[in-house]
């Protein structure tokens, strides 16, 4: 099973611990709890939390066939595969409280974006002549965002409105070239990244046809936004010397580098931010701009999107066969 790129990895040799002296260090301990494998599955990974104690991910069965699955309480729901797609190369990237799942599947030499209706996965509509596509996120209303490669070989940011399921909107007012919508807030604000031919990125908030660039902190040449919740944005600041710092923009758009981490990968509405320290690939959690915990385990652990219930989906990768087992990280 291929590792989902939006996740953050950790390799270490000690037990979980909270960083001494941080604001939340004495309040609780972050611990991973195993999620059950679906019947007949040989491995699985959890990639996103629905905010109500449920989690979505991908399970692998015999002959490397993968299905999207959702854990809710003691139940596991199998969403199956996207019709016409390959049996593997399936990614569940986000889920909302209603259980709407979005992600991507593989077909021939391309990716295809999907969204669920009930427990059925269906390809999302694309602009005429589009090639590869991917859905990255879904909000509580069911609006999905992602990208597609158009016939002119540019990558464009897309919105699939929940109230117009057969419609795809190409976001205007943005640069052309390599552009993707990476997340969407519950008020409909879309988080967008645009990269130039030097691989430097500028990040935007897009709403109703108007794109507002997120301010770069002093000395930064690139901003790589990764998540949006309640107006705040997580991401990474890349400086002139190519060093990286985890970053957070407040709702007013003011950027601030976060202590210790090199990347911030996701956040929830309450201000929990999930990121990574590049040295040793160690995940780190912030509460707002304060370090809450550095998480270490005896086996390699990958973390996905933070949920609004304060949990984080993820999975272990077990040596020596690289088998995956799903977990949820909780503070208790």
pLDDT along the chain (332 residues), means of 10: 41 33 55 96 97 97 95 96 94 97 92 97 96 97 97 95 96 93 98 90 96 96 97 97 96 96 96 87 90 89 93 92 94 89
Predicted confidence at residue 148, as pLDDT, reads 97
Helix, strand, coil proportions of the chain in percent (round to 5)?
Answer: 0, 55, 45
What is this structure's pTM? 0.90
Please choose, from the candidates 289, 301, 221, the residue with its C-alpha nearest in 3D space to the C-alpha of residue 14.
301
CB 39 within 8 A of CB 62: no
Cα–Cα distance between 220 and 242 in angstroms, integer? 9
Q: State the number of CA atoms in the 13 A half-sphere of 20 facing the CB.
A: 0
Q: What is the DSSP string of 54-102?
A: EEEEEEE-GGG-EEEEEEETTEEEEEE--TTS-SS--EEEEE-TT--EE
Q: CA-CA distances (angstroms) from residue 87 to 19, 20, 92, 108?
A: 42, 46, 14, 11
- Domains, the chain, ranges and CATH? 8-331 (2.120.10.30)
Predicted confidence at residue 263, as pLDDT, reads 94
CB 31 within 8 A of CB 330: yes
Q: Cα(first)–Cα(last) distance of the chain, in Å?
A: 30
CB 137 within 8 A of CB 193: no
Predicted confidence at residue 132, as pLDDT, reads 94
Predicted confidence at residue 280, as pLDDT, reads 64
Predicted confidence at residue 23, as pLDDT, reads 30
């Amino acid at each position: 099973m291929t590792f989902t790129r939006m996740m953050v990895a950790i390799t270490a040799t000690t037990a979980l611990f909270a960083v001494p002296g941080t604001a939340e260090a004495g309040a609780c301990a972050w611990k991973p709890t195993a999620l059950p494998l679906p019947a007949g599955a040989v491995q699985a990974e959890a990639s996103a939390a629905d905010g109500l104690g449920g989690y979505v991910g991908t399970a692998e069965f015999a002959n490397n066939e993968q299905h999207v699955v959702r854990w809710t309480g003691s139940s596991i729901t199998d969403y199956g595969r996207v019709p016409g797609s390959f049996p593997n190369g399936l990614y569940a990237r986000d889920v909302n409280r209603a259980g709407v799942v979005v992600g991507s599947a593989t077909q021939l030499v391309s990716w295809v974006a999907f969204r669920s209706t009930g427990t059925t996965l269906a390809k999302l509509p694309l602009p005429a002549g589009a090639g590869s596509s991917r859905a990255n996120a879904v909000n509580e209303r069911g609006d999905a965002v992602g990208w597609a490669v158009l016939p002119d070989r540019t990558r464009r940011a897309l919105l699939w409105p929940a109230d117009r399921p057969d419609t795809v909107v190409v976001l205007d007012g943005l640069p052309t070239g390599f552009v993707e919508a990476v997340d969407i807030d519950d008020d409909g604000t879309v988080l967008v990244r645009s990269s130039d031919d030097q691989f430097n990125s500028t990040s935007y908030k897009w709403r109703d046809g108007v794109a507002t660039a997120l301010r770069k902190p002093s000395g930064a040449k690139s901003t790589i936004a990764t998540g949006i919740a309640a107006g705040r944005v997580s991401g990474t600041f890349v400086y002139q010397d190519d060093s990286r710092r985890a970053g957070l923009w407040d709702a007013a758009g003011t950027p601030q580098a976060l202590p210790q981490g090199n990347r911030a990968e996701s956040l929830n509405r309450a201000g929990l931010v999930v990121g990574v320290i590049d040295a040793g690939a160690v995940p780190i959690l912030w509460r707002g701009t304060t370090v809450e915990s550095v998480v270490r385990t005896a086996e390699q652990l990958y973390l996905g999107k933070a949920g609004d219930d304060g949990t984080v989906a993820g999975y272990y990768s077990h040596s020596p066969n690289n088998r995956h087992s799903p977990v949820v990280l909780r503070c208790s």
